[in-house]
Structure 1
Amino acid sequence: MLGYWFMKALSWILCHSPKFLVKLIADGIGFLAWQVTPAWRKRMAIVNIKECLGVETPRAEIIAHASVKRFGRMLTEVLRFPVLDKTFLQEHIEVEGREFLEAAYQQKKGVILCTGHFGNWELLGMSVALMGYPLLSIARKQNNSAMDNFINEYRSLGGQQIVYNRGESSMLTISRVLRDKKMLGVLYDQDTADDSMELEFFGKKTKVPLGAAFFSRLHGAPIVPFFLHNNGEDKFVLRIYPPLYAEKTKDRATDLQKPMKELMLILEHEIIKNPSMWFWLHDRWKDGKRRFRDTESEG
């Protein structure tokens, strides 16, 4: 519980501090994040950036460093959730494509909101909840129960609900949300132990979770891709894409593949436009340990 109360104390400080101090703390956390990142993960991120984006090493190093450093800002933004309200949304977040979200919601089949580990995905969920939409987001349970309680408590401050991505009861809860014509938040850019399919991502094969397409096919719910961009200090752009759908034919594999392939292409597009916003430290292609950590041990 010590970690829980430490985070609560830091949250209180950030909620009552001037902007310059919040930025200073964010920069400090970002600096420390880079320092404690294992060397093999740094090399993996840099090489993956070079391979995916076709940039030279110096540029890849800048992107990798910025990708890690931004977690300082992301953390301070989350810790300031207690003081976020609709006024913050109106003054700091520009929404592009809200008509797509509203049109999908008006179909009354539920909406599956899909994003990646891009920008501040926690603030993205908070923003949708503050917009007045009933949102339940799928999350992975943290190993540390105190920290799990903390992050879920803060996620719920704007009205967002959370369900874990494991267990039969979670599946039933997710289906109930869509039957009740509510919104479901999904992170779709990391592989899970659940049903997945091998697709190309930046020209390399990787496993992609099929949850979004599965529930769209099951319930007829539209899939709406959305992403949150940092646009300067305390300014954000929430970009919403036109909806996708999973058809329901006799060819289940193709039905699931089509929308997931489109989602991966949209994510590629977002990353190319704002490469430092994505979580490059994740071993997305499941070859990082073999290519970088194991060779480090051998050396």
Structure 2
Amino acid sequence: MIRNRNSDGTHIPRFLLNLVAKTFQILPHRKALALGRGTGDVIRRILPKKVELARRNLEMAYPDLAGTPELEQRVQDVFRHFGMMGAEFLRFPVLTEAWLREHVQVSGLEHVFSLLEQGKGVLAFSAHFGNWELAIKRLALDIPVQIHVVIRRIKDPNVHRFIEEYRERYGGAVSILQDQGPLSIFRLLKKNGIVVTVLDQNAGKGEGVFTPYFGRPACTYSSVARIAIRQNIPLLPVFDARTDLENHQVVLGAPIPPPDLPEERSIQMLTEACTEKIEEMVRKHPSQWIWMHNRWKTKPDEVSTDPVG
């Protein structure tokens, strides 16, 4: 799980958030995406530290790109992608079921129904990749069970409430705060519920285990694997990828069962398997992952492997 963050950031007025959302909603879809790309360019220019972090991470993951024009294009594409993702999220109120079914294709739904038939719930993992919010909105059309997503508390309380309300009102998902612990997740799984979390953020000291990610040890939260092992359920990979400007593909992979090993060893191996799936998807669409996140911040000599949760 991700450690708690205080709500001590800025306070963007709610009317301004609503105004920005309405602007994206009244535009035709392609023009809204173009505005999103432009917004990504603006953010790239005003956040040089994030740009430098994205550049450094990409150089380490793809050494052959270091110092090349391709690297700078990749950095630009990353920010533009997340600008378009934001545009799509703000357009949730006007994305109809017909539009979703036409532009967001889904494969692997049988895995969800198979797990629900077993009666132990569905514990899925994803990443800050593609448009994970759009994936949930699309899946909610075909899955008759309420989807719950584990979310991080945003520093700005106004932005936090705005996104949470949008997600629940228009995105088909109910939010669970990560800083409130795993008890609510256990309860939902016991009721045969569906819980989705992301598993690609840096974990701090005592919060995770190290897993290989693009050839470097990345400290990864171990709580998700621990829950799966204690509930004796597999972890379900769920990823969305943008296939072209307007279209997406949501892929639900084969569930990953917990190894039949001592708990700590099982946690290590299951977390490694999840990280491997994330890297596999990012390598296919490298401009769609959040490279401006300090994924390798925690170093091996700074971490304790004490149990979490």
* In structure 2, C-alpha distance between the alignment counterparts of 1:285 and 1:108, rounded to whole Å: 37
Q: How many residues align?
A: 284
CA contact (8 A) 1:33 1:71 kept: no
Partner of 2:114 in structure 1? 103
* In structure 2, C-alpha distance between the alignment counterparts of 1:173 and 1:85, rounded to whole Å: 31
Deviation for aligned residue 1:174:
1.1
Q: Aligned runs of 1:80-229 on 2, under 5 Å?
A: 80-132=91-143, 133-157=145-169, 158-167=171-180, 170-193=181-204, 195-229=207-241
* In structure 2, C-alpha distance between the alignment counterparts of 1:214 and 1:20, rounded to whole Å: 43
Deviation for aligned residue 1:41:
3.3
Partner of 1:12 in structure 2? 22
Q: Residue by residue, what CA displacement relative to the aligned partner does 1:47-90 show, whole Å, maximum 9, x if unpaired?
A: 32232134323222221211111121111101011123432321
Task: Give SS of 2:125's match.
Answer: strand
Deviation for aligned residue 1:226:
1.3
Partner of 1:284 in structure 2? 295
- Comparing 103-112 with 259-268, greater Cα deviation is found at 103-112
* In structure 2, C-alpha distance between the alignment counterparts of 1:24 and 1:62, rounded to whole Å: 17
* In structure 2, C-alpha distance between the alignment counterparts of 1:214 and 1:85, rounded to whole Å: 38
* In structure 1, C-alpha distance between the alignment counterparts of 2:47 and 2:142, rounded to whole Å: 36
Query: Matched residues, percent identical?
Result: 25
Q: Which runs of 5+ in 2 are unaligned?
A: 1-10, 300-309
Task: Give SS of 1:284's match.
Answer: coil
* In structure 2, C-alpha distance between the alignment counterparts of 1:21 and 1:67, rounded to whole Å: 19
The alignment's TM-score, normalised by the length of structure 1, stands at 0.88
* In structure 1, C-alpha distance between the alignment counterparts of 2:172 and 2:133, rounded to whole Å: 13
Q: Aligned runs of 1:51-90 on 2, under 5 Å?
A: 51-56=60-65, 57-90=68-101
* In structure 2, C-alpha distance between the alignment counterparts of 1:91 and 1:69, rounded to whole Å: 23
Partner of 1:34 in structure 2? 44
Cα distance 1:253–1:32, how it changes in 2: closer, same or farther (>3 A)? Answer: same
Deviation for aligned residue 1:25:
1.7
CA contact (8 A) 1:53 1:272 kept: no
* In structure 2, C-alpha distance between the alignment counterparts of 1:6 and 1:88, rounded to whole Å: 27
Cα distance 1:287–1:252, how it changes in 2: closer, same or farther (>3 A)? Answer: closer
Deviation for aligned residue 1:233:
2.3
* In structure 2, C-alpha distance between the alignment counterparts of 1:83 and 1:45, rounded to whole Å: 32
* In structure 1, C-alpha distance between the alignment counterparts of 2:104 and 2:28, rounded to whole Å: 20
Q: Residue by residue, what CA displacement relative to the aligned partner does 1:198-223 show, whole Å, maximum 9, x if unpaired?
A: 12211111210012211111112221
Deviation for aligned residue 1:147:
0.7
Q: Which residue type is aligned with residue 52 of structure 1?
A: A
Q: Which residue type is aligned with residue 18 of structure 2?
A: K
Q: Residue by residue, what CA displacement relative to the aligned partner does 1:154-179 show, whole Å, maximum 9, x if unpaired?
A: 11023311111113xx4221111101
Partner of 1:294 in structure 2? none
Deviation for aligned residue 1:281:
0.5
Deviation for aligned residue 1:287:
7.2
